[in-house]
Amino acid sequence: MDENGSLYVVDDGKYEVRRYRRGDSQGIVVAGGNGSGNRLDQLSHPEYVFVDRNHSVYVSDWENDRVMKWMEGAKQGIVVAGGQGEGNGLTQLSFPEGVVVDQLGTVYVADQVNNRIMRWPKGATQGSVIIGGNGSGGQSNQFYWPLDSEDGSLKTQQLEISFATSNKASKKYWMCSERECGVYIHTSVTDELLSISGDHNHSANPDQIEVKLLRDKMKERILAETMSITKIYDEEIVKANLSKAATAIIPTVVEYRSNMSKARRKNTPVIPSSVMFDIPELYQQTLAGKRFLFIDVFLKRGKDRILVFSSDQQLKILFESDTIFMDGTFDITPAHFKQVFLIHAHKFGQGLPVAFCLLPNKRGKTSTEL
């Protein structure tokens, strides 16, 4: 909201920011509004907006990894932070979230996936790290996805007011997320309240807190598990038992999946450069936590590796079957393997897949060893 009482609203689904003056019913587009994209007149999943005294609009363009400035009446914006692709360099951002601009035009942005707060002076071609940048975690020099942190969720649950946090060496600084409020508190690194400044100029919004806690839980599971985002979303919605008011403001599964799919991809380990790689325990198990990686062996040739995935239940079906079928494909295989080989067992009047094998070549000898 600006000093005239005009309200600025980010519409993530329409990729735009709209301004509503007092009495307006529809408002006007002040940033974006030309579909999703990375042109200077476009936004892609805008997240936060800041309005300065000249009514210029600063938008964290989440999926384009940049912060855009749209001067009042402009048809397109200019990049004031990031815009050099997703990454952790000083010229880059990775899914920017909250953005604030001071009177000198210096941009402060929460660089979410890089777990840091960046400062970009007006006209600068690169920023500097002022808080964090030491990986994700709970240490005093670390963040865990700033402005959407687990610590922030704990504090909001206690106070029913949403706060964003930054960690110092001996204490944490918490600022009310309502931009026009300005209340802040200090806590110890163990979340013991040390001091609080003033009173909030707005009422608590327990519905927003309820939704934020739910989104934090969803994000935690999405980054830690391989289950589909839609299924995680549905499960957490059921468990949360939200109030009617909170249900009305929760993002739809389509909106949430769009954002979280990219975050999950960025959190996924890079493809190894050779067959000599470790398989994380998460990928050795079924979704129920049962063994799924059945065989992991190197052949005598040393550089050839065979992986076989199967559950105990699938193996039981295989061993009880009198008829098996085998098939392989060479067209679609993971890196460093040449063949996906499947074993099916005839059971219950149909062929059931019981083993999924990754083979290093097409040789008959390899199939024999398998």
CA 225, distance to chain mean position in Å, is 13
Measured distance CA(307)–CA(146) in Å, rounded: 39
What pLDDT does 122 receive?
Answer: 93
> How many alpha carbons fall within 13 Å on the CB side of residue 320?
9
Q: Would residue 169 be called left, alpha or beta, if left means φ above 0 and alpha means ψ between -120 and 50 degrees?
A: alpha
Here the tokens at position 135 are 């990986």
Place of tokens 């600063």: 58
pLDDT digits (tens, 9 = 90+) for 227-252: 889 999 999 999 998 888 888 888 88
Q: Which residue has the tokens 């954002």?
A: 259
pLDDT at 146: 61
**Cβ neighbours of 263 (radius 10 Å):** 19
Query: So what's the pLDDT on residue 242?
Result: 86
Q: What share of the chain is helix, strand, coil (3-state, %, to 5)?
A: 25, 35, 45
Do the Cβ atoms of 184 and 193 come closer than 8 Å?
no
Q: Cα–Cα distance between 267 and 270 in angstroms, integer?
A: 9
What pLDDT does 162 receive? 43
Q: Which of 108, 91, 111, 101 is nearest to 70 (CA)?
A: 101
| Structure confidence at residue 142 (pLDDT) | 61
User: Looking at residue 283, what is its pLDDT?
Assistant: 85
Q: Rounded to a whole number, what is the distance in angstroms from the first to the last CA of the chain? A: 66
Domains of the chain, CATH where assigned? 7-156 (2.120.10.30), 158-204 (no CATH), 206-267 (no CATH), 281-369 (no CATH)
Q: How many helices (H) and strands (E) does the chain have?
A: 7, 20
Taking the C-alpha atoms of residue 237 and residue 149, their distance in angstroms, rounded to an integer, is 20
Among 175, 179, 181, CA closest to 156:
175
pLDDT of residue 211: 86
User: What pLDDT was estimated at residue 258?
Assistant: 78
pLDDT at residue 99 in the model: 92
Mean of the per-residue pLDDT values for the chain?
A: 84
Predicted local distance difference test score (pLDDT) of residue 291? 92
Contacts of 11 (CB under 8 A, 6+ apart): 17, 18, 46
> In this structure, are residues 321 and 347 in contact, taking their beta carbons and an 8 Å threshold?
yes
The span from the CA of 311 to the CA of 295, in Å, is 11
Question: 317: part of which helix (H) or strand (E)?
Answer: helix 312-320
Ranges of the chain whose pLDDT falls below 70: 136-171, 179, 300-302
Residue-level pLDDT at 136:
62
Cα angle, residue 367 at apex, residues 301 and 282 outer, rounded to 5°: 80
Residues in the chain: 370
pLDDT at 152: 36
pLDDT, tens digit (0-9, with 9 covering 90-100), for 278-325: 888 888 998 888 999 999 998 765 678 999 999 999 999 999 999 999
This prediction has a pTM of 0.44
